[in-house]
Amino acid sequence: MFLKPFYMALTRLFRRVRRETLTLAPPRRVNRLLWWLAPGLLVKRWLLLSMAGVLLVGVGGMIWLKLTPVFYTGRLLGAALRAFTTHVPNYVSGPLGILLGLGLIFWGQSRTVGAITDVLIPGNEEDLLDALLTQRRLSRGPKIVVVGGGTGLSNLLRGMKRYSSNITAIVTVADDGGSSGRLRREMGVLPPGDIRNCLAALADEEKLLTELFQYRFESGSGLVGHSFGNLFLTAMNEITGDLEQAIAASSKVLAVRGQVLPSTSVDVQLWAELEDGRRIVGESKITEARGRIVHIGCLPPNPPALAKAVKAIEEADYIVIGPGSLYTSIIPNLLVPDLVKAIAARQVPRIYICNIMTEPGETDGFSVSDHIRAIDSACGCYLFDAVLVQKVMPSDTVISHYARAGVGPVLLDRAAILDSGRRIIAANVMEESADLTVRHHSERLARVLLRWYTRTQRLW
């Protein structure tokens, strides 16, 4: 207990010394040495441990030899020291010896670290240090489970990976349109599109590999419209015989922070009953039908959840639902009873991120409380404690642009939301693009979510 204040004081002293040293523009080698001594890298403790090991080996050897070498070595060193201190005072020779010893230790360790760095990241020791510090910080982040699909989920993950590497994205596999739909029909695989987007979003700044994974073919017989990532995941699925293993292999290639999991390994199809009596089967056809959805389900009903997804929820510190298309990205995950049961059982902060704009064919004229009622109706239980909504309305120009397509802002009806038992978290998490479209700003959204988690986790 008494060591903790000492360690905190030492940490503060180190940061102060380093700040002042940087102000004085120190030599590059000194700056690098200070970085390696930074708290949290676990370098100092292993250095001290190795030195203790060397000392123990020496002591053990001397005991084994019955201290004979120690006797003669001690006599020799004693004679040398007496001769030296006769000519040089002890108040000079003592500190000089200590400084010389420390210099040799630091020199040897820096050369060792430099040799390792040149192999791992040639000529970029600062990058290695940054990577080590970032990895240590992210590995201590909360265990976050994000449930959803589509571009909304991948956009959120780009921001969340800055705060934790313990992220699990649970993704819908009900997509039957575009490249994913073609691969699903022709190859009999689960649709890889949303999984690919999430893998790319969680990639650890591997820009070239990410662009390759997202590359979409524009020519070639049978290739037009397919993305490389979809084809890669499909090929890995054929090789491993399992989409879960294919995702794991792709995660290694992209250096993914966290993991991406399908909500179920069963090939499911969405169906919806519309207000006008029509029954539509197929995720892409539901949106095209342009009718008000009164009931939604899947075939086969009650699909089993992926075991890893359930385990991730059971171990989660924080659960986030959305953002994404309400009926085709979020609710499909909640049609898996095991996932719903696991989320409902967790006594941790749980929040739903509501969309900024309505979606034609899905949520025309919906308010925030309408989104909440749709989720409650689909899963049949209370899954989240708060809802995050956009605080400021989009600009008039953006609203006019969307109005031409029959789309408008999702209105905030506070009284109805509070009646549902949810807290309202209002924040400005929107960004407007040059093409007059709006979406959640990944960094702002992640910052607000982590701030709310930090404030509320003490209550659980």
> Hey, what long-range contacts does 121-129 have (CB within 8 A, 24 or more apart)?
125/32, 126/32, 126/35, 129/32, 129/35, 129/36, 129/38, 129/41
A 10 A CB-CB count for 311 gives 14
> What is the per-residue pLDDT across 88-131, written as a single tens digit (0 to 9) for each?
777 777 787 788 888 877 777 666 666 666 655 555 555 666 66
pLDDT at 250 over 70: yes
Residue 364 placed within a domain: yes
Residue 351 placed within a domain: yes
Whole-prediction pTM: 0.76
CATH number, position 325: 3.40.50.10680
**What is the average per-residue pLDDT within 407-422?**
95
Give the pLDDT of residue 351: 97
Give the pLDDT of residue 117: 61
> What is the per-residue pLDDT across 57-100, written as a single tens digit (0 to 9) for each?
877 777 776 666 666 777 777 787 777 777 777 777 778 778 88
Confidence of residue 233 (pLDDT cuts 50, 70, 90): very high
CB 179 within 8 A of CB 156: no
H helical segments located in 24-67: 28-36, 43-64
pLDDT at 349 over 60: yes
Tokens 């250096």 belong to: 255
pLDDT at 387 over 50: yes
Give the pLDDT of residue 18: 45
153: nearest Cα among 204, 195, 206, 208? 195
Tokens 């969680």 belong to: 202
CA dihedral 278, 282, 288, 291 (to 10 degrees): 30
**What is the average per-residue pLDDT within 126-145?**
77
Write out the residue range of the structural domain in which residue 346 sits: 136-148+155-172+314-457
Among 23-27, 31-35, 206-210, 254-258, the minimum mean pLDDT is found in 23-27
Q: How many domains does one find in the chain? A: 1
> What is the per-residue pLDDT across 179-201, written as a single tens digit (0 to 9) for each?
888 888 888 888 998 999 999 99
Three-class DSSP category at 154? helix
Tokens 């009953």 belong to: 273
Strands 269-274 and 293-299, how do they pair?
antiparallel
Confidence of residue 8 (pLDDT cuts 50, 70, 90): low
Residue 117 placed within a domain: no
Residue 217 placed within a domain: no
Using left for φ > 0, alpha for ψ between -120 and 50, and beta otherwise, residue 123 falls in: left
